[in-house]
Structure 1
Amino acid sequence: MEPKTSYHHGDLARAAVDAAFGLVRAGGPEAVSMREVAGKVGVAHRALYRPFGDREGLLNAVAARGYDLLADRLAAAVEADDPRRAFVAAYARFALEEPGLYALVMGRDRRQIAAAPALKAASDRVIQLSLRGLAPGLRGAEARDAVIAVWSLLHGALALYRSGLIRAADADQLADYLVRLTEGRPFSAGT
């Protein structure tokens, strides 16, 4: 069956983002091609260039949804009794449970984020929640630096965990370990 050249049964952009979102979740950003997404929604791949411009535009739309998902998890965390601990645990669990989305959202650079309004809004939401959860009471450069320090530690530690250099029995043990690291507390050996 030949792919359709136009899409008349709903919202093509939403259908394409849904399809690409599933591909990213299953195989990371490298699993997304315009042809694969077009095949999933039943259109010619050329039809996807109108709403997205190119593959990066489609990935930016998926990244915006990924940031929104991360923000939803972090929003609940910053309302906890111990927001820093809850934030670190929620962030780590997102990275572990959604490795493809995590790779995509953390792989978007400043230029890509600035060029896509929905991605910028979703990214800004995560930044604001990070400031609330990780730097309460701090302002300006001091708050920014506190967030960057924790994000850097988490991002690096998660990469070390994935490579097997940090061991943990499960996501809960890893989250506890990361919380202790961000608090500068001693931690047990073997983790």
Structure 2
Amino acid sequence: MDDLRIGPDGLARCGWVGDDAEYRRYHDEEWGRPLHGDRALFEKMSLEGFQAGLSWITILRKRPRFREVFAGFEPAAVAAFGDDDVERLMTDAGIIRNRAKILATIGNARLVEEMAPGELDAFMWSFAPAPRAEGERPVVFADVPATTAASDALSKALKKRGFRFVGSTTMYALMQSAGMVDDHLAGCHSAG
């Protein structure tokens, strides 16, 4: 895979986008852009947890169905899910049918519900590192880490609060996708 790829529109993008139109849209409109709000970050945490061991494009393509069956990732609604909901989700081919991940999502929603409004957002963003200095943008994929001290700390703090499927690699992916870090490669049209 090339580190940068020129799309059909003539724009240079991070090479992981490949030729997939939905990946291009996600890269251009979402990935690396600051995301705030308890519901939005709970959704991102949940989807990143479901992604563990799979490709992100798999999750991205299933995201509309995930949103539908997980009540728009409204923490209060998901926190109220019971055994019948777990069984319903386990039979839904439109999502990742992993019982441990489903139960973690419900449990994580209950933990979010115990927090004050805005607390999840403030808590997660408190781990965002300072923006890179000019000229420190990654040039090739090899420059982009899988984990950092910040993702290690966020993972550890979330686990201490009882959250599950929030390992450091998963949290670094969340930090990238939620714009807490900007790992668009130098030369990418989306590089900030």
Measured against the shorter chain, the TM-score band is under 0.3
* Structure with higher helix content: 1
**TM-score normalized by structure 2?**
0.24
Structure with greater contact order relative to length (CA < 8 Å, sep ≥ 6)? 2
